[in-house]
Structure 1
Amino acid sequence: MTTSTEIIEKWSKKPQDIEDIKETRTADIVIVGAGLGGMVAAAKASELGSTIVIDKMPHIAAVRQAEWAFDSKFQRDAGKTFTAEERETIIGDLMRDDHWSMANQAVVTSFVDQSGPLIDWIKPIIEENSDIRLELEPGWGPYGISYGRPGYPEPDWFVPLKKYMEKNGAQIILNMRGEQLVQDGNGKVTGIIAKNEAGEYIRYNANKGVILTTGSFGKNQEMMEDFYPREERYSHDMFYPQSTGDGHIMALQAGADMESIAWGDSFLTSDVRFNNHTNSTSLADIVYWPAYACLPQLYVNHNGERFINEGGYKAGENPLFCDTANEMRIADGIFWQTPDNKAWSIFDDKTEEKLDKKAKTKENGVLHIGGVTTSWPSPGMNNRKKLERDVKDGITVKADTIEELAAKINVPVDKLKATVKRYNEMCAQGTDSDFIKEPIWLNSIDEGPFYASRITSTPCCTRGGIVIGPHGQVMDRKGRPIEGLYAGGTTAGSALGWQTTINICIVSQMFGWLGVQDAYGVLKTPIHSYEKLV
């Protein structure tokens, strides 16, 4: 899946060669970007030879809480086993249902098959260098692994990796921005030229390969206009400030191909931004999740009309766990379907009590609402104290009647009254005949006071990227690998299509890690437990 020739040629124009080199250094592997993909790749590279990691930021940022693995020894030891049929189903489902066949199946298969070995490799590194412990995590689906310490995201997840790689002799050089790849006469990538804080150019020669893990391009306005569908539609984003597409641009200038569509995981967030409402200081724009509003409540557009199944796909094993994948699907729905990428979330004063009552009617019922966003970035997201604060600060509107609420949020009173009336009728019947929302989320809006909070779709990353092969090799526009060049993290494409249920952060670890092994010629095909039984 490639983009138009005109756009590719635009971004592929080679800059003038940088010749004013202050210093030259050499390593087997040079990794550009010390984020999630880069730190995992660097830890692996440090086992095999000399490693240099450069990053333009003054600090390392590599946040993670959980992973996705298939048939790892760790899972088998914990009693979770897999069959060959399950593997085929997983790959088929990812391609058909989640990627809409837009991804490269060889790359997707590589991800599935190598996810177990990656977890088995990384587990002892993390556990021997920190108090973090890996556990099976059903909340992340049947293939979930979590880092066993409370809190999302895990703020110091990368620390044990950093300790490990530095113990192995790897060097991390900050405030060093990659500027231009170095190629020989045959197009092989042999290094990279970077610029330090003083504006001096440093050349890093790579004996084995260069791994690009520089993140996405969400803060490169021109790239967003060329590659991100309906870029003009969103009003808020969660892109990190350093996400300027450096790796994409350098790869394209070296002859790489680029996917035609870049999308990204979008979250439902408040349309209001207040600096004092977030625990995160590293997001490009301040984002905030208002209390209760991002649950599958009644969503209406600017006309006061319902327009979507607010619950997305079916609930998981815990019927009141509104997981992140569902939230992202609904966020995408709001992005595409409403005229202004915004909606009003409508609920009443008893929304939590109604959910709690449903939970307690089930065996061992547990009220767990809100998914990941209950703790990130605003711990205890869905509670009355936070709701009261939201009302006070103007994030959520409160009214005694539906008529008053409609007037306050400037939607047609008659339309909103009719929408709520119809919604309540379906709640009483226990069947959503209009949009087929699951009954567990059908809760009437009939006990005042009533609330409305303006929510919007907020993208957090660009998912499309440089075309790669199954081992992270960067591919040229004729489908051939560019020798010596690899990509991982959100710089790499090919593993994901239009949407995904395997979080992009999980995929981000894989292909820099594989690229390092490919560069050294040591990549092994995993032997799955079910194969041993054949």
Structure 2
Amino acid sequence: MVQLREVSVEEMRMADDYDVIIVGAGGAGLAAGLTAADAGKRVLLVEADDRAGGSTSLSGGVFYAAGTSLQREAGIEGDTAEDMYRYYMTLNQYKPEPAIVRRLCKDATPAFEWLRELGVTFRTEDLYASGVDKIRRGHRAAGHGAEITEVLEGHLSTRGADLALGTRVERLLIENGRCRGIVVDGEPVTAGAVVLATGGFGANRAMLAELYPDAALHGDRHWYIGSDHCQGDGLTLALEAGGELTPRNRGLLLLTPGFARDLESYLPGWLMMVNRQGHRFVDETIEYSVLATVLREQEGRECWAILDEDARLESATTQYRPAPNWHEERLLDHVAAGTLQTGATLEELAQRCGLPADAMKVTAERYSEMSDRGEDTDYFKPAGMLRPVRRGPFYAARINAAIVCWTGVGIRIDAEAHVLASDGTPIHGLYAAGETTGGMHGDCYAAGGASIANAIVFGRIAGRNAAALA
């Protein structure tokens, strides 16, 4: 892979002729940099990590969009940005910023086609329904997120852009209400415009507790799937410059039994899940994008995943989605580690989990009867995922929404990616894109790929507008 030319802090300071400085070199930053460079501007990217790519490079590489060429190749006709917008806003009860979401939906299609033209590989067999509406809008890159960032960096490396790695920005240069550059190691580096694209704050426990308390509720059970360098730098820089943040306590959490810090987006669909009252409360196969929101309504914001010995023995052959930690022998390892409880009878298991034995016994009997009939008349789970809970020993794992995937609190921007001051006016010369921004998230994550679409769409908008101003 062709990489960007690296520069030192001294070389940055001596250059003194950058048009656009981009803080962060993940998906949003690389998209902003390439767009600005293609407009003929001299670009500098400043990245805290020792390589470019950010959290985008660690992701599954799914891009959420409607009305794309790949959909048409797969025989999907008539899907539109307006359909995507209505779905996105309805799912989230119109809590996100409508102008931001509409721009995301409108520009997602051309941004996707741009990635294809650059050389990112998208195949029809990797197109899937990543949201709860079952429309196939999830476009997975063949090489996952790493391919997206490698292609962007490869193109940017031929445009004469500079990259400073292992470097954190101390503050922004604000003069007479306009952003004029950055300060690094006490030295100013000036530019015509600055784009903040530092990612989220999932690796900053103090900021999680303050801005996203749901992601700190379960203490050490929480862990973050993104880059360790996502410390919320962009939010801090924007606030110091007079910007403001979007509403708190928004983002995406995944359910986890705490077996290991391995990313498994889904729990096995064949589990029976019960709340503290010993009752089922959900179709266990629903999309991860809404499951954490459902769990939030349960007492203690937790539940228990129950299975019997037959289900354990059959686990390797009944995987609805990949879940290696729930395979036959691994489950016994979790018993030995104490993260999976076991009991010879349901009553014994309930006692160990602190659950009402009578209620759990009734729930298991009803669930087993429905499994025998092949029809879930309570929550309508697919028949193929029904497994009786009847033969001991029995097993139970405590489930929490504790995997932090995406932080949805961020810098407030408008539809042109301007950073907005506390009075609602743009801070001249300052733009932001990607996970460091907010406004496009409600209580539910819209669908797999929404975060990468957000990064690329608003990265392009920020890069284009920063270049025009510079």
Secondary structure of 1:158's partner?
A: helix
CA distance in 2, matches of 1:225, 1:508: 24
Q: Counterpart of 2:175 in structure 1: which amino acid?
A: D
Residue identity opposite 1:333 in structure 2? V
Give the 3-state SS of the residue equivalent to 2:223 in structure 1.
coil
Query: Displacement of 1:117 after TM fit?
Result: 1.0
1:299 aligns with 2:273: yes
Aligned to 2:4: none
Superposition deviation, residue 477 in structure 1: 2.5
* Structure-2 residue corresponding to 1:318: none
Alignment-derived partner of residue 106 in structure 2? 113
Partner of 1:234: 218
The DSSP-based 3-state class of the residue aligned with 2:235 is helix
Q: CA deviation at 1:450?
A: 2.5
Partner of 1:26: 17
Partner of 2:245: 258
Aligned position for 1:472: 417
Q: Are positions 1:54 and 2:56 aligned together?
A: no
Partner SS state of residue 251, structure 2: coil
Identify unmatched segments of 5+ residues in structure 2.
1-11
Name the CA shift for 1:147/1:87 in 2 (closer, same or farther; >3 Å). Answer: closer
Instruction: Report the Cα distance in structure 2 between the residues aligned to 1:155 and 1:454, rounded to whole angstroms.
Output: 33
Give 1:167's aligned residue. Answer: 158
The CA deviation at 1:482 is 1.9
Q: Does 1:210 align with 2:212?
A: no
Q: Any residues of structure 2 matched to 1:335-346 within 5 Å, and which?
A: 335-339=296-300, 341-346=301-306
Change (3 A) 1:134 1:125: farther
Does residue 347 of the first structure (1) align with residue 340 of the second (2)? no
Q: Distance in 2 between matches of 1:181 and 1:106?
A: 27
Report whether the alignment pairs 1:482 with 2:427. Answer: yes
CA contact (8 A) 2:280 2:363 kept: no
Q: Deviations over 1:97-132 (max 9, x none)?
A: 2x21111222111111111111111113234xxxx5
Whole-Å separation in 2 of the counterparts to 1:80 and 1:218: 36
**Stretch moving more, 254-263 or 403-412:** 403-412
RMSD of aligned alpha carbons: 3.2
Q: For 1:74-223, what aligned pairs fall within 5 Å after superposition?
A: 74-76=70-72, 79-82=75-78, 86-97=80-91, 99-127=92-120, 132-135=121-124, 137-140=127-130, 141-149=135-143, 154-185=145-176, 187-194=177-184, 200-207=185-192, 209-223=193-207
Superposed displacement of residue 40, structure 1 = 2.3
Residue identity opposite 1:518 in structure 2: N
1:329 to 290, 301, 324: 290
Q: 1:422 aligns with which of 366, 381, 389?
A: 366
Shift of 1:511: 0.8
Deviations 1:11-58 (A, max 9, x none): xxxxxxxxxx97663311111112222122223223222111111122
Report if the CA contact (8 A) 1:269-1:294 is conserved: no
SS in 1 for 2:334: helix
TM-score (norm 1): 0.74
Which one of the candidate residues 508, 520, 529 is aligned to 2:455?
Answer: 508
Contact 1:311 1:438 in 2 (8 A): no
Look up the match of 1:369: 320
Q: CA deviation at 1:159?
A: 1.9
Q: Distance in 1 between matches of 2:123 and 2:16?
A: 37
Amino acid paired to 1:58: D
Q: Deviations over 1:190-217 (max 9, x none)?
A: 21112xxxxx32322222x211111112
The CA distance in 2 between the partners of 1:264 and 1:147, in whole Å, is: 23
Contact 1:268/1:294 (<8 A) preserved: no
Aligned-partner Cα distance in 1 for 2:189–2:313: 60
Aligned to 2:29: 38
For residue 115 of structure 2, give the secondary structure of its aligned residue in structure 1.
helix
Partner of 1:269: 256
Letter in 2 for 1:111: L
Amino acid at match of 1:401: T
Paired residue for 1:463, among 403, 408, 416?
Answer: 408
Q: 1:66 aligns with which of 62, 65, 68?
A: 62
Partner amino acid, structure 2, of 1:266: L
Q: What letter is aligned with 2:105?
A: V
Shift, 1:270, TM fit: 2.0
Distance 1:269 1:124, change over 3 A: same
For 1:508-533, what per-residue CA distance to the aligned partner results, in whole angstroms no more than 9, with x for missing partners? Answer: 222122111122349xxxxxxxxxxx
Residue of structure 1 equivalent to 2:444 = 499
Partner SS for 2:16: strand
Aligned to 2:9: none
Deviation readout 1:325-376 (Å, 9 max, x if unpaired)? x12422233244231x43220012343898999xxxxxxxxx7612xxx2xx
The CA distance in 1 between the partners of 2:358 and 2:34, in whole Å, is 61
Q: 2: CA distance between counterparts of 1:73 and 1:287?
A: 34
Say if 1:254 and 1:217 are closer, same or farther in 2 by CA, change over 3 A.
same
Q: Does structure 2 retain, via aligned residues, the 8 Å contact 1:465–1:494? A: yes
CA contact (8 A) 1:25 1:205 kept: yes
Q: Which runs of 5 or more structure 1 residues have no equivalent in the other structure? A: 1-20, 195-199, 274-285, 314-325, 358-366, 523-534
Number of matched pairs? 442
Q: Distance in 1 between matches of 2:365 and 2:340?
A: 21
Deviations 1:132-160 (A, max 9, x none): 555451243422322125xxx54454222
Residues 1:518 and 2:462 are matched in the alignment:
no
Q: Could you list the per-position Cα deviations for residues 463-490 of structure 1 after superposition, in whole angstroms to 9, with x for gaps in the alignment?
A: 1211111122212223322221111111
CA shift digits 1:171-229 (9 cap, x unpaired): 111111012111221x12121112xxxxx32322222x211111112344454344324
Separation in 2 of the partners of 1:171 and 1:387? 49
- Decide whether the 8 Å contact of 2:23 with 2:29 is kept in 1: yes
Deviation at 1:429, TM superposition (A): 5.5
* Cα distance between partner residues in 2 of 1:293 and 1:72: 30
Q: Which residue is equivalent to 2:282?
A: 309
CA–CA separation in structure 2 for the residues paired with 1:154 and 1:414? 48
